[in-house]
Amino acid sequence: MKELSPLQIERLKYQPKLPSSLSEGVNKLKFIQGENTKAIRDEEQIQKLFQNTYGKPIITFELTGEENVSAVKNVGVILSGGQAPGGHNVIAGLYDALKQANPNNKLYGFLGGPAGIIDGKYIEFSGELIDEYRNTGGFDIIGSGRTKLETQEQFEKSLEICKKLDISAVIIIGGDDSNTNAALLAEWLVENDTGIQVIGCPKTIDGDLKNDQIEISFGFDTATKTYAELIGNIQRDANSAKKYWHFIKIMGRSASHVALEAALQTQPNITLISEEVEERQMSLSDIINYMSDIISQRAAKGKNFGIAIVPEGLIEFIPEMKSMIANLNDLMGELEQDIDFNNATSSHEKFEIVQNRLKEVNSKVFESLPALIKAQLLMDRDPHGNVQVSRIDTEKLLIEMIKTRLKEMKSQGEYVGKFSELAHFFGYEGRCAFPSNFDADYCYSLGYNAFALINFGLTGYLSSIRNLTQSADKWIAGGTPLTMMMNMEKRHGEFKPVIQKALVKLDDSVFKKLENNREDWALNDKYKFPGAIQYFGPSSVCDLTTVTLQLESVKESPQ
Ligand code: FBP
């Protein structure tokens, strides 16, 4: 018998809230069809690749007085990609809706991510198992993985296991890459006349799976609140001891939504935003100068301490780095086959081979980096071809370069302070936290709604719950066609259909809020202390959504 903490015991009892349209179960729903949709870009190519699932209408559910009878439907679910708080509630919502529709329905969980459906590894969920995981963080109920589901052979194997278990729908809970997989699988299953449906659920702490229809991916709320709590605590410590500069790298593979949200909640001295660095074409030395100037201005006021937030994906947005990493990514495949590279006995030898094979301009950039960063850049890519930025110590790179710059400034009489630094990385600390009330409710609703989409025979849709800054009863449930979010992008050297990542927009109110305040926050200590996520207490604290969602829902310029 597992021992539970007092909070675990209390959270198991929490009853997540549902939109009022879903509150009477899935048998009393009707769906309203919007207009047919188009891909966000490259319409023609996407339409050609998704001939059966392209261009479907947006769906909204409404309550109806009539009761529909649901046929028996077995469903399989996959957790895909990085953990995000609330995944277990998606499964709980799905399970409850499925059993409510017809107690003979069965829910299967594929183990270890998409690999589970390919390898035929699964469990059947029971009510007891689901009850153990309600409102808990993590994906440990069935595990997750990053296998890319895209080949004919993988699809055939998936079909085989679905047939064996009499599964008529598969739910893929994942981010942009995983939902791209969902779209491909949905298309293949229709093309092959299998009758099996595929529905996606928008997951990722990164917050970059969003658009007009998907206001936010789940997990962003809890993860950012967790990081903001930790940053706030560090700010108090820094402001008490007044002796350290804390450099905090914040998770979020490409987009800086997580760093931006955490910064808006805590008001640190420096916040870098990768998208701004790219748009303003800031070189690494521009960034170092910007940060060193703030450090020096604070030192002139006697403040040899501060907080700097660094988004995890920064390195890929610095123009000279971006070009070098793209060149390196293309080279990685060749290097895997390269005898000299594979036989090299020291890192130094490997670096030399890489330098010789990169284009001259990129080679110089690579050469200028510390050995630690060079080695990290040469680590394996993930199955989708992404550099694993969570494993690159960008914050340490910045610290080393700032130290050199401050020395220079000191020698020229431009800096009078003392620089003692500490590096942190907040990522894994937030991905499996107990979901906030928002994420617990949102995820449960996403799962519940996913079954409603299945029940109406839909496929190639993302479960969508909108109007999220309102109370849960006013949330709008429905479905967004996956092809609507797609465009063509280069992956592993080839153009492929993918769901477009939503990056931070510099003309948006969320970034403007930082931009309008950052000078003040840099020199005057305006630290905010959000504290721990509250699960019980006033709704103004417990059910509060993120600053990002609030600002995006208002769409007017903030102060
Ligand atoms: P997803 O896009 O799969 O949700 O993953 C998000 C993320 O947490 C990123 O922020 C991070 O860069 C990456 O996963 C880390 O990957 P891993 O879990 O494989 O270490």
**Is residue 360 one of the residues assigned to a domain?**
yes
Could you tell me if the CB of 85 is within 6 A of ligand 1?
Answer: no
3-state secondary structure at position 538: coil
Which tens digits make up the pLDDT trace of 533-551?
A: 999 999 999 999 999 999 9
**Is residue 494 one of the residues assigned to a domain?**
no
Nearest ligand 1 atom to the CA of 390 is 12
Residue identified by tokens 């957790």 is 79
Answer whether 459's CB lies under 8 Å from 199's CB: yes
Question: In terms of domains, do 297 and 394 share one?
Answer: yes
Could you tell me if the CB of 187 is within 6 A of ligand 1?
Answer: no
Residues 6+ apart with CB under 8 A from 204: 81, 82, 84, 174, 175, 176, 217, 219, 220
Question: In terms of domains, do 203 and 274 share one?
Answer: no
Could you tell me if the CB of 137 is within 6 A of ligand 1?
Answer: no
Q: Of 511, 442, 505, whose CA–CA distance to 476 is shortest?
A: 442
Count the domains in the chain: 2
131 pLDDT band, cuts 50/70/90, is very high
What was the pLDDT predicted at 33? Answer: 94
Which tens digits make up the pLDDT trace of 82-114?
A: 999 999 999 999 999 999 999 999 999 999 999
**Is residue 495 one of the residues assigned to a domain?**
no
Nearest ligand 1 atom to the CA of 217 is 4
Cα 79 to Cα 117: distance, rounded to the nearest angstrom: 11
Question: In terms of domains, do 170 and 237 share one?
Answer: no
Which tens digits make up the pLDDT trace of 242-287?
A: 999 999 999 998 999 999 999 999 999 999 999 999 999 999 999 9
Could you tell me if the CB of 316 is within 6 A of ligand 1?
Answer: no
Could you tell me if the CB of 390 is within 6 A of ligand 1?
Answer: yes
Task: Name which of 349-353, 493-497, 520-524 the model is least confident about.
Answer: 493-497
**Is residue 544 one of the residues assigned to a domain?**
yes
pLDDT at 464 over 90: yes
Query: pTM for this structure?
Result: 0.94
Which tens digits make up the pLDDT trace of 235-252?
A: 999 999 999 999 999 999
Which tens digits make up the pLDDT trace of 174-217?
A: 999 999 999 999 999 999 999 999 999 999 999 999 998 899 99
Residue minimizing CA distance to atom 17 of ligand 1: 82
Question: In terms of domains, do 230 and 340 share one?
Answer: yes
Question: In terms of domains, do 246 and 325 share one?
Answer: yes
**Mean pLDDT of all residues in the chain?**
94
**Is residue 346 one of the residues assigned to a domain?**
yes
Which tens digits make up the pLDDT trace of 381-430?
A: 776 667 787 888 999 999 999 999 999 999 999 999 999 999 999 999 99
Residue minimizing CA distance to atom 15 of ligand 1: 390
CATH of the domain at 74: 3.40.50.450
- The residue range of the domain holding 204 is 6-218+433-486
Q: Looking at residues 347-369, what average pLDDT do you find?
A: 92
Nearest ligand 1 atom to the CA of 252 is 10
Question: Ligand 1 centroid vs 263 CA: distance in angstroms?
Answer: 20
Question: Ligand 1 centroid vs 27 CA: distance in angstroms?
Answer: 36
Cα 559 to Cα 399: distance, rounded to the nearest angstrom: 32
Question: Ligand 1 centroid vs 219 CA: distance in angstroms?
Answer: 12
pLDDT at 224 over 60: yes
Question: In terms of domains, do 516 and 531 share one?
Answer: yes
Cα 484 to Cα 50: distance, rounded to the nearest angstrom: 11
